[in-house]
């Protein structure tokens, strides 16, 4: 026993020296990659600043933005769980990254550890012709005919939830974040897969999506009992559920009935391709995976925009009044008619409000990419291969615009056309080959919500100190979850009793 202990004590100094050497090499590697860029001079061993990202993401990313703005280059550096990261403030450099998504440059990942969550074969990881082919197949899902069917669904669900929210409020304030999230989840499910999810499937779907949402904000520990593992397994179940919906839709479309949801339009086009090529390009499971991409892209981003729309309209009564007047020219709820696609397109100011909400509070503030090669970003700096790069679409939205901190929908009106002059700084929907394919659907949803909420509901914020500060969940929302008092204001509003 004494001999064993003597041997152990003999090796302890060597182990300590080896550990010290590894820590030194880690710091030297970080400093070599960082070079002259602003950022922390020393990072915590192995995990870097991962704890800060998880415990206070708002503070962490604000600090990265401050670092980046402190230099004309518009870049800052940091280190998270063994990965060197770059934060991009400069719009020009962000656009350069978006324009170079290809195998020998940058790989869009959507989340720093996204491939573990979403799987390898995923829309956001595709390049070249494969990516173009998939986007071509997706296009029929967003034609004017399809969008009109979606707007009918969206309005029915929005109205149902507004009635419920007013009942819940009854002279007391209620936080809207989870309520908006639930409304959007029901909207996405119904628009995307319509009648193919029964009530039991929807309940399981909601539970699994919550696992996924929680896991997005946790450390990527893929072990039983950890939130990240729960999220990864939940994604697999969600994809299987959506694959089953695709299979059921295909059977229905073979009978020649008209499409009633997004997957029907996709399967209708798929069957047309099948008749021409004699073989299908995508399996039901692949389509289920792509449907989940849509859900992920639309769900939390839409929730963020709806909350900020309420917050910004309440704090800008002159904008709210203009919206109400414009909507009244096209839609009278007492007539019990839905807002048509043509009417929606005529609501120019309401669309300007929607776009200004997205500009000033871009829901997904950053779009993570991984450098597949050493990439010369500027004359003086080469991004090392394997770096996770975060172009900030949030920061871009405040570059170029006159008084960028001011909420001013008129910038997006045709007579001003400031959105065209500074279009390159409006990156909320991305840019390049991977620009959001469903942005018209997203803007329509936000416009419908603004039009109906402003027309049917009287609302007032339950203001507290810091209520409008930004919180990450993982998209950005008001810190107080947008707590409001609600009551119905329109005779056409369904009775609350």
Q: Which of 207, 210, 225, 231 is nearest to 111 (CA)?
A: 231
Calpha distance 472→486 (Å, rounded): 25
CA–CA distance, 204 with 236 (Å, rounded to integer): 13
DSSP-derived secondary structure letter, 108: E
How far apart are the two ends of the chain, measured CA to CA in Å?
A: 81
* DSSP state for residue 469 in the 8-state scheme: S
Q: Coil, strand, or helix at residue 143?
A: coil
How many CA atoms lie less than 13 Å away from 475 in the CB half-sphere?
A: 24
Instruction: Return phi, psi of residue 484, to 5°.
Output: -140, 155
Residue 217 to residues 22, 52, 179, 220, Cα–Cα distance (Å): 29, 12, 20, 9
For residue 76, give the 3-state DSSP assignment: strand
Alpha helices in 170-198 (DSSP H): 177-193
Which pair of tokens denotes residue 242?
Answer: 């959506």
Bridge partners of 389, per DSSP, are: 86, 369
Q: Are strands 83-88 and 388-391 parallel, antiparallel or unpaired?
A: parallel
Bond from prior residue into 76 cis (ω within 30 degrees of 0): no
The pair of structure tokens assigned to 479 is 């810190």
The dihedrals phi and psi of 464, each to the nearest 5 degrees, come to -135, 165
Peptide bond into 474 cis (omega under 30): yes
DSSP state letters, 439-460: HHHHHHHHHHHHHHHHHHEEEE
Q: Please indicate if the annotation marks 436 as binding a ligand.
A: yes
Read off the DSSP letter of residue 269. Answer: H
Strand 375-376, strand 476-478: pairing:
unpaired
85 conformational bin, left if phi > 0, alpha if psi -120 to 50, beta if neither: beta
Give me the torsion for CA of 143, 415, 393, 373, rounded to 10°: 70
Known binding-site positions for heme: 436
Specify binding-site residues.
436
């Amino acid at each position: 026993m004494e001999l064993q202990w003597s041997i152990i004590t003999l090796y302890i100094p060597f182990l300590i020296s080896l550990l010290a050497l590894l820590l030194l090499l880690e710091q030297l590697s970080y400093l070599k990659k960082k070079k002259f860029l602003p950022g922390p001079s020393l990072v915590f061993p192995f995990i870097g600043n991962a704890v800060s990202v998880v415990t206070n993401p708002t503070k962490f990313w604000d600090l990265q933005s401050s670092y980046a703005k402190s230099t004309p280059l518009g870049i800052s550096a940091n280190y998270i769980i063994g990965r060197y990261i770059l934060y991009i403030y400069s719009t020009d450099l962000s656009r350069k990254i978006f324009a170079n998504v290809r195998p020998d440059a940058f790989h869009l990942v959507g989340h720093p550890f996204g491939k573990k969550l979403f799987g390898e074969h995923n829309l956001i990881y595709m390049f070249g012709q494969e990516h173009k082919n998939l986007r071509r197949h997706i296009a029929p899902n967003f034609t004017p005919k399809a969008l009109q069917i979606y707007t009918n669904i969206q309005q029915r669900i929005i109205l149902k939830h507004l009635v419920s929210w007013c009942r819940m409020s009854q002279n007391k304030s209620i936080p809207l974040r989870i309520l908006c999230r639930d409304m959007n989840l029901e909207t996405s499910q119904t628009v995307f897969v319509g009648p193919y999810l029964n009530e039991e499937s929807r309940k399981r779907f909601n539970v699994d999506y919550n696992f996924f949402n929680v896991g997005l904000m946790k450390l990527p520990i893929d072990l039983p009992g950890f939130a990240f593992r729960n999220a990864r397994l939940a994604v697999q179940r969600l994809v299987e559920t959506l694959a089953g919906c695709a299979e059921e839709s295909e059977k229905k479309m073979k009978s020649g009935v008209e499409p009633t949801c997004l997957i029907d339009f996709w399967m209708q086009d798929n069957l047309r391709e099948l008749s021409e090529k004699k073989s299908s390009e995508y399996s039901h499971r692949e389509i289920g995976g792509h449907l989940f991409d849509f859900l992920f892209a639309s769900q939390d981003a839409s929730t963020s925009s709806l909350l900020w729309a309420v917050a910004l309209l309440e704090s800008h009564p002159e904008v709210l009044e203009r919206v109400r007047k414009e909507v009244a020219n096209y839609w009278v709820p007492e007539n019990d008619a839905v807002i048509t696609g043509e009417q929606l397109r005529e609501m120019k100011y309401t669309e300007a409000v929607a776009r200004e909400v997205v500009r000033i509070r871009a829901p997904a503030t950053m779009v993570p990419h991984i450098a597949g090669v050493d990439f010369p970003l500027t004359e003086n700096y080469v991004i090392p291969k394997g770096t996770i790069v975060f172009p900030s679409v949030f920061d871009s939205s405040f570059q170029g615009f006159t008084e960028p901190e001011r909420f001013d929908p008129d910038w997006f009106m045709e007579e001003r056309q400031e959105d065209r002059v500074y279009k390159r700084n409006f990156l909320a929907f991305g840019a390049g080959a991977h620009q959001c394919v469903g942005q018209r659907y997203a803007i329509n949803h936000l416009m419908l919500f603004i039009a109906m909420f402003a027309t049917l509901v009287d609302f007032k914020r339950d203001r507290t100190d810091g209520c409008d500060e930004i919180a990450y969940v993982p998209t950005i929302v008001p810190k107080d979850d947008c707590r409001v008092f609600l009551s119905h204001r329109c005779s056409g509003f369904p009775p609350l009793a």
